């Protein structure tokens, strides 16, 4: 087994134990708790918080992927071309909006709970995917596009069989950026009463209990690393396939 | 393609005009009896007497109409400017007239209609600007003009009757403290990150082994959720303060400015170091070969060739850091680190929208201005951009 | 004079350059030809020590290259490469003045030298000094690249595929320019190319490399008329070989007394040009002129007999 794979197995095991059997880590975290205070977070099961956290991220991300890819397809068609420069500006400037500000501004409209978090993650998640898909679809090799037209593919066939597959690695990069940001930002959702792992961290902040902060932080961090890794591998896989096919053509 | 773009009406312009008309139907402002109760939406034609609203609306509609002709981006930009001016004027007149006789605690807040119209007009301006594609110096001029206009409107007190302005008045001193703290956090951490990150990046460039260990560690630090990072800094610094002699006297403490500052520095290191490495590697291999072949020493190559050529990429790293830190500094408000986040989280606790806005709007504005400024700088440092710009 | 003495470079147990020895006379152009991977660039780069030899030595005018500090050595040797490698963030003037500046020349001296070189390359200084490389055409960039390499009046100019990135027409002109400038300045040039045509056109001497070894070193005519190996013969090109040879010979060598019909041809033209005119105009004899005066004639028969000198390799 390669070193990277050994590391992956270790990370997965560590994460599963932290979520399923947190009490095993009591001796590790104990020095970080004030004396007499509980060391391991028990107010809610870490598993259910993790699932809720990942669920919110997944829901927002899936919605963001669908909307972002559709919008990017629209603005790269001849009919939507007039919107392309504007879309670039929006994608570029929109990403300067701090996620926390987006979250806070969603609260007055949607109240507390998972709602504003979902909306904030969704809105913020669209931009990187939109930007990358747009770049991917508007920078295809001209020779390939010419060939696709030349062999008589219809517009639709070109989109589905040539353009989207070629843009896939870039789209995946956008999805990766978006999902990793969402996992981190979801923790802040707990400040507006969404059920996420942020709850553990905030409980720690409120009671000066650093072991809570560490537990919450490490679990979220490990989730982010694993998802980052999976998506990077996926990108590399598709990139390699494209690279391989390009040399045989 | 040409027959499409040569059509008279700009497609985005048409979309903006339609959306603008729809947005006029939404409540322009809301009127509430006091700060806590929910307000009642007021459509734009009811905010003041007809002799005020009709000219205001006429100018607003004219602005949207000027946004239509595809071939005249300058006119479209003018339309957006005129539209925004009409919006501000309507707001000025409306807030004053609505508050007349509405009781001492009555509040006028910005409604969804206003926000939508503002967003549409700003998008119109952005669309017109992307067609004009002004050079970096021109863009800097426009940015300065926009900032001056914004400051003038706010400073003149014309919008003093708005609820968010009253929140500001009642927290006048706290606001400037927060602004100072926020800027200190964002720019201070940027400076520290640059001072440590640039040399680290140069070392990483020269030493493959160092790069292989530094970059993954910094990437890992980046995945720690900000909330946790701020949380970990507090006990860490408290421990440093209590165990290392002299630390406390130097102002090291587990609360306040320093934990937030340190957390931001840690988040900043990855973009600075990674972009420094990428920037130094951006020199084309042929150029580097030529530099070596003509007998430049390693230091001469670094200073005369690689650094100037990599500067745009390195500055792009600083742009990422600056925008990211302005946003992340909001979280400092949650752990007593100050900044605009204080208002955001107070507002969330009190469900006071205007207080949230008082924290969020300056943050967003600051981030936007920083991003545009850094984009201009990045472009200026590209080789001979001025001559082409 | 440059002496390369039994030089070898080993990468991962494989010799990229395998005990090559050759001597390059001053004020000549030597072209090293080979396919990619033949070790020709490595050989070139060992001379200015961009690559350190595994064994063997190089002497420039009797002085061992290893006796000098690496960067000092490189500042004495001009270096021009494919794709020019100009500094995109510096003006033309600053690019050309790069090495003199490294050598600590005075500002005025550098400035004079820049103007001199720009004039030499027919690029008016007042027009080109302050331009950036991105604002020049491919041919102009290449000329600035060569000017930069010549700026400090180096003992030796190394060129690695200097015309590789140019279009055919510009390329021919650049080669002619280089030839003219080398004759004017009397520079010693060592040039690497994969193009036998270029090597024959430019080289006073041609060195052919194959799999790290120097397989033949001689005048272009030697290489064409008696290729040392089948590889050299292939490089010279089977069918084209007689034509290549003819292109090296000036008409003046076979002018005979007599008269002929039709428009005359200049005696500085090559035999290949003369053959082309014969075939094109359907004549067997051409009148030859020098400075406008008829000096004799050239016959198709004479051209043919010169081309028959080529034979199959041993």
Over residues B100-116, the mean pLDDT reads 86
Whether A249 maps to a domain, the answer reads: no
The model's confidence at residue B1, banded by pLDDT at 50, 70 and 90, is very low
Judge residue B123's burial from the number of C-beta atoms within 10 Å of its C-beta, 0-12 exposed, 13-18 middle, 19 or more buried.
buried
Angle between helices A99-110 and A164-188 (to 10 degrees): 70
| Neighboring chain B residues of A225 at a CB cutoff of 8 Å | 220, 223
Q: Which residues neighbour B245 within 8 Å (Cβ) at sequence distance 6 or greater?
A: none
Indicate if the pLDDT at residue C311 is higher than 70. no
Whether A12 maps to a domain, the answer reads: no
Sketch out chain C's domains with CATH numbers. Answer: 2-237 (3.40.50.300), 243-307 (3.10.580.10)
Alpha helices in C190-249 (DSSP H): 196-202, 220-225, 230-236, 241-248
Bin B109: left if φ > 0, else alpha if -120 < ψ < 50, else beta.
beta
The model's confidence at residue B220, banded by pLDDT at 50, 70 and 90, is confident
| Neighboring chain A residues of B371 at a CB cutoff of 8 Å | 92-93, 96
Q: Which residue of B293, B308, B384 is in closest CB contact with C134?
A: B384
Q: For chains B and C, what is the number of CB pairs under 8 angstroms?
A: 71
| Neighboring chain B residues of A105 at a CB cutoff of 8 Å | 356-357, 360
- The model's pLDDT over A201-211, given as tens digits with 9 standing for 90+, comes to 988 888 888 88
* CB contact (8 A) between residue B232 and residue A217: yes
Give the ipTM: 0.83
The model's confidence at residue A78, banded by pLDDT at 50, 70 and 90, is confident
The model's confidence at residue B386, banded by pLDDT at 50, 70 and 90, is very low
Main-chain dihedrals φ then ψ at residue A213, nearest 5 degrees? -60, -45
pLDDT at C58: 94
Indicate if the pLDDT at residue C298 is higher than 70. yes
Indicate if the pLDDT at residue B3 is higher than 60. no
Whether A36 maps to a domain, the answer reads: no
Q: Pick the more confident residue, C28 or C84.
A: C28
The model's confidence at residue A244, banded by pLDDT at 50, 70 and 90, is very low
- The model's pLDDT over B177-200, given as tens digits with 9 standing for 90+, comes to 999 999 999 999 999 999 999 999
C134 CB within 8 Å of a chain B CB: yes
B41 CB within 8 Å of a chain A CB: no
The model's confidence at residue C159, banded by pLDDT at 50, 70 and 90, is very high
Indicate if the pLDDT at residue C310 is higher than 70. no
Whether A82 maps to a domain, the answer reads: yes
- The model's pLDDT over A143-193, given as tens digits with 9 standing for 90+, comes to 888 888 888 888 888 898 889 988 998 999 999 989 988 998 899 888 888
- HEC-encoded secondary structure of A83-140: HHHHHHHHHHHHCCCCHHHHHHHHHHHHCCCHHHHHHHHHHHHHHHHHHHHHHHHHCC
Bin C191: left if φ > 0, else alpha if -120 < ψ < 50, else beta.
beta
Over residues A134-145, the mean pLDDT reads 88
Indicate if the pLDDT at residue A105 is higher than 70. yes
Looking at every residue in chain C, the average pLDDT score rounds to 87
CA distance B88 to chain A (A): 21
CA distance C246 to chain B (A): 37
Q: Which residue has the tokens 């996620």?
A: A99
- The model's pLDDT over B260-283, given as tens digits with 9 standing for 90+, comes to 999 999 999 999 999 999 999 988
Distance of alpha carbon C229 from alpha carbon C243, whole angstroms: 20
Whether A196 maps to a domain, the answer reads: yes
| Neighboring chain C residues of B384 at a CB cutoff of 8 Å | 88-89, 132, 134-135
pLDDT at B5: 45
Nearest CA in chain B to A98: B327
Whether A37 maps to a domain, the answer reads: no
| Neighboring chain A residues of B368 at a CB cutoff of 8 Å | 93, 96
**Exposure class string for A108-132: b at 16+ Cβ within 10 A, else e:** beeeeebbbbbbbbbbbbbbbbbbb
**Tokens, residue A218:** 């490490």
DSSP B150-213: HHHHHHTTTTTTBHHHHHHHHTHHHHHHHHHHHHHHHHHHHHHHHHHHHHHHHHHHH-HHHHHH
Worst-scoring range by mean pLDDT, B57-61, B194-198, B248-252? B248-252
Judge residue A100's burial from the number of C-beta atoms within 10 Å of its C-beta, 0-12 exposed, 13-18 middle, 19 or more buried.
buried
Q: How many residues does chain C have?
A: 314
Q: Percent of chain C scored above 70 by pLDDT? A: 97
pLDDT at C232: 87
pLDDT at A110: 83
pLDDT at C112: 95
- The model's pLDDT over C88-139, given as tens digits with 9 standing for 90+, comes to 888 999 999 999 999 999 999 999 999 999 998 889 999 999 999 988 988 8
- The model's pLDDT over C189-200, given as tens digits with 9 standing for 90+, comes to 999 999 888 898
Q: Which residue of C82, C89, C148 is in closest CB contact with B383?
A: C89
> What is the residue range of A85's domain?
42-241
Q: Are C277 and C299 in contact (CB under 8 A)?
A: no
**Tokens, residue C309:** 């000198």
Q: Which residues pair with B9 in a beta bridge?
A: B69
Looking at every residue in chain A, the average pLDDT score rounds to 86
* CB contact (8 A) between residue C132 and residue B297: no
Touching pair A, C by Cβ (3+ pairs < 8 Å): no
pLDDT at B18: 93
Q: Percent of chain B scored above 70 by pLDDT? A: 96
Q: Which residue of A90, A101, A221 is in closest CB contact with B223?
A: A221
Nearest to C161 by CA among C151, C171, C148: C171
B296 CB within 8 Å of a chain C CB: yes
* SS3 state of residue B96: helix
Worst-scoring range by mean pLDDT, A128-132, A158-162, C46-50? A158-162
Distance of alpha carbon B310 from alpha carbon C89, whole angstroms: 11
* SS3 state of residue B345: helix
Whether A230 maps to a domain, the answer reads: yes
Domain CATH code at residue A54: 1.10.3720.10
Q: Pick the more confident residue, C165 or C312.
A: C165
Bin B9: left if φ > 0, else alpha if -120 < ψ < 50, else beta.
beta
CA distance B51 to chain A (A): 33
B215 CB within 8 Å of a chain A CB: no
Q: Which residue of A88, A107, A210 is in closest CB contact with B235?
A: A210
pLDDT at C239: 61
pLDDT at C313: 42
**C51, C89, C101, C148, best to mutate vs chain B, most B CBs in 10 Å:** C89
Q: How many residues does chain A have?
A: 249
Nearest CA in chain C to B284: C85
pLDDT at C94: 93
Q: How many domains, in total, are found in chain A? A: 1
Nearest to B194 by CA among B125, B244, B268: B268
B351 CB within 8 Å of a chain A CB: yes
| Neighboring chain A residues of B226 at a CB cutoff of 8 Å | 184, 187-188
Whether A247 maps to a domain, the answer reads: no
* SS3 state of residue C153: coil
Q: What is the pTM of this model?
A: 0.82
Counting Cα atoms < 13 Å in the Cβ hemisphere of A247 gives 5
Distance of alpha carbon A130 from alpha carbon C290, whole angstroms: 73
The model's confidence at residue A248, banded by pLDDT at 50, 70 and 90, is very low
Q: Which residue of C74, C82, C89 is in closest CB contact with B293?
A: C74
């Amino acid at each position: 087994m390669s070193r990277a794979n050994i590391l992956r197995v270790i990370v997965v095991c560590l994460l599963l134990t932290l979520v399923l059997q947190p009490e095993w880590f009591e001796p590790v975290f104990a020095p970080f708790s004030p004396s007499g205070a509980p060391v391991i977070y028990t107010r809610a099961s870490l598993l259910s918080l993790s699932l809720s956290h990942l669920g919110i991220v997944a829901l927002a991300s899936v919605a963001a992927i669908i909307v972002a890819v559709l919008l990017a397809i629209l603005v790269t068609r001849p009919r939507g071309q007039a919107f392309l420069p504007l879309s670039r500006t929006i994608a570029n400037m929109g990403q300067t909006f701090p996620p926390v500000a987006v979250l806070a501004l969603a609260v007055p409209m949607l109240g507390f709970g998972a709602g504003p978090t979902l909306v904030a993650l969704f809105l913020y998640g669209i931009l990187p995917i939109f930007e990358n898909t747009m770049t991917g679809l508007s920078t295809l090799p001209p020779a390939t596009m010419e060939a696709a037209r030349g062999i008589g593919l219809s517009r639709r066939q070109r989109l589905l069989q040539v353009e989207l597959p070629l843009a896939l690695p870039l789209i995946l990069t956008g999805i990766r950026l978006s999902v990793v940001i969402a996992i981190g930002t979801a923790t802040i959702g707990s400040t507006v009463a969404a059920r996420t792992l942020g709850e553990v961290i905030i409980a720690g902040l409120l009671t000066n209990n650093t072991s809570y902060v560490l537990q919450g932080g490490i679990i979220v961090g490990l989730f982010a690393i694993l998802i980052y890794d999976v998506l990077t591998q996926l990108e590399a896989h598709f990139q390699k396939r494209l690279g391989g096919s390009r040399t045989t053509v | 393609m040409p027959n499409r773009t040569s059509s008279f009406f700009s497609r985005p312009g048409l979309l903006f005009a339609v959306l603008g008309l729809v947005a006029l139907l939404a409540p322009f402002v809301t009127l509430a009896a006091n700060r806590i109760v929910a307000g009642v939406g007021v459509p734009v034609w009811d905010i003041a007497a007809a002799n005020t609203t009709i000219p205001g609306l006429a100018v607003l509609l004219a602005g949207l109409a000027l946004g239509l002709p595809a071939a005249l981006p300058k006119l479209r930009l003018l339309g957006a400017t005129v539209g925004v001016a009409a919006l501000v004027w309507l707001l000025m007149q409306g807030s004053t007239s609505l508050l007349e006789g509405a009781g001492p605690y009555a509040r006028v807040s910005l409604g969804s209609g206003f926000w939508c119209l503002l967003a549409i007009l700003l998008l119109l301006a952005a669309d017109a600007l992307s067609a004009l594609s002004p050079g970096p110096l021109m863009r800097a001029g426009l940015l300065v003009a926009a900032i001056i206009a914004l400051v003038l409107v706010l400073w003149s007190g014309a919008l003093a009757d708005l609820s968010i302005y009253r929140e500001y008045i009642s927290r006048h001193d706290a606001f400037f403290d927060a602004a100072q703290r926020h800027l200190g956090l964002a720019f201070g951490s940027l400076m520290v990150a640059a001072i440590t990150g640039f040399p680290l990046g140069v070392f990483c460039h020269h030493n493959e082994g160092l790069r292989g260990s530094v970059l993954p560690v910094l990437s890992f630090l980046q995945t720690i959720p900000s909330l946790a990072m701020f949380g970990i800094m507090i006990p860490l610094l408290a421990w440093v303060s209590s165990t290392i002699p002299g630390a406390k006297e130097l102002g090291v403490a587990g609360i306040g400015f320093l934990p937030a500052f340190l957390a931001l520095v840690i988040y900043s290191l990855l973009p600075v170091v990674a972009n420094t490495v990428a920037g130094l590697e951006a020199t084309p291999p042929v150029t580097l070969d030529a530099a070596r072949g003509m007998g430049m020493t390693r230091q001469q190559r670094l200073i005369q060739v690689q650094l100037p050529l990599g500067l745009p990429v390195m500055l792009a790293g600083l742009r990422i850091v600056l925008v990211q830190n302005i946003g992340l500094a909001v979280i400092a408000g949650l752990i007593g680190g100050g900044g605009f986040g204080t208002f955001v989280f107070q507002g969330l606790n009190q469900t006071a929208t205007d207080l949230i806005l008082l924290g969020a709007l300056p943050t967003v504005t600051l981030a936007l201005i920083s991003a545009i400024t850094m984009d201009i700088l990045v472009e200026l440092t590209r080789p001979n951009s001025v001559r082409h710009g | 004079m440059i002496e390369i003495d039994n030089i070898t470079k080993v990468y991962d147990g494989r010799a990229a350059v395998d005990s090559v020895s050759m001597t390059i006379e001053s004020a000549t152009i030597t072209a090293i030809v080979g396919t990619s991977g033949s070790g020709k660039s490595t050989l070139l780069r060992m001379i200015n020590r961009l690559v350190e030899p595994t064994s063997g030595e190089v002497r420039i005018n009797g002085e061992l290259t290893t006796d000098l500090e690496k960067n000092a050595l490189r500042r004495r040797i001009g270096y021009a490469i494919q794709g020019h490698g100009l500094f995109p963030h510096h003006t033309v003037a600053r690019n050309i003045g790069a090495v003199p500046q490294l050598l600590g020349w005075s500002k005025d001296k550098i400035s004079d030298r820049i103007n001199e070189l720009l004039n030499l390359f027919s690029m008016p200084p007042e027009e080109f000094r302050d331009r950036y490389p991105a604002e020049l055409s491919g041919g102009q960039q290449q000329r600035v690249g060569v000017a930069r390499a010549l700026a400090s009046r180096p003992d030796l100019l190394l060129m690695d595929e200097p015309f590789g990135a140019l279009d055919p027409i510009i390329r021919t002109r650049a080669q002619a320019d280089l030839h003219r400038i080398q004759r004017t300045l009397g520079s010693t040039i060592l040039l690497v190319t994969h193009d036998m045509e270029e090597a024959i056109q430019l080289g006073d001497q041609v060195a052919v490399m194959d799999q790290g070894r120097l397989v033949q070193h001689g005048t272009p005519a030697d290489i064409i008329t008696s290729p040392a190996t089948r590889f050299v013969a292939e490089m010279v090109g089977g069918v084209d070989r007689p034509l290549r040879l003819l292109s090296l010979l000036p008409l003046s060598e076979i002018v005979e007394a007599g008269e002929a019909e039709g428009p005359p041809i200049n005696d500085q033209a090559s035999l290949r040009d003369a053959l082309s005119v014969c075939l094109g105009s359907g004549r067997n004899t051409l009148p030859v002129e020098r400075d406008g005066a008829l000096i004799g004639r050239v016959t198709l028969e004479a051209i043919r007999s010169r081309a028959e000198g080529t034979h199959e390799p041993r």
